[in-house]
Amino acid sequence: MQACPKCGRELVVKHKGQQSFLGCSGYPDCEYTQGLREQSEIEPESLGVPCPQCGNDLQLKSGRFGLFVGCSNYPDCDFIAEDPTQREQDSVPCPECEKAGRTGRVVAKTGRSGKQFFSCDQFPTCDFSLPLPPVNEACPECDFPLLMRKRSQGSERLVCPQKHCDYRSKPL
């Protein structure tokens, strides 16, 4: 339990629209509020592991999408450690990079609104992206090198991401 700094009553989690915040349980007598983001932010903490790009220490940091491991020499070094389980899960080659002779992979990312999408890890060199999870399987109609996994009406199908192709598999 955390006490209100103005009146000493208990602070409780309140919601207004899509926003959540801490507010005094004595509202409307006391109108104290505190953002939850301030509560969850941490000071960067050294991990004692050298950065593979520049040799400085890696740190545990807090960002808008949660905790992550990054270089203490930011912005001179922009290294961010990837989650290896996520990398293996999304091991689909980027079709645009394959055409250009690069080794890009399609990985899961989170947008500003918190919504997940899938794009090439070689951004900004490659701007390929998908709204749905990729599947490493070629389209049987247009031979595009990957399909997307789409869930709707209680079933799951593979669909082609090409706008001119209307391939949809039977429910899986």
> Both ends of the chain: CA-CA distance in Å?
48
Give the tens place of pLDDT for each residue, 115-150: 888 888 888 889 999 999 999 999 999 999 999 999
Which amino acid, one-letter code, is at 55?
Answer: G
Q: Are 158 and 118 in contact (CB under 8 A)?
A: no
Give the tens place of pLDDT for each residue, 78-109: 888 765 445 444 568 999 998 888 888 888 88
Confidence of residue 39 (pLDDT cuts 50, 70, 90): very low
Burial 104-114 (b: 16+ CB within 10 A, else e): bebbebeeeee
Q: What is the DSSP letter of 113?
A: T
**Whether the model pTM is above 0.75:** no
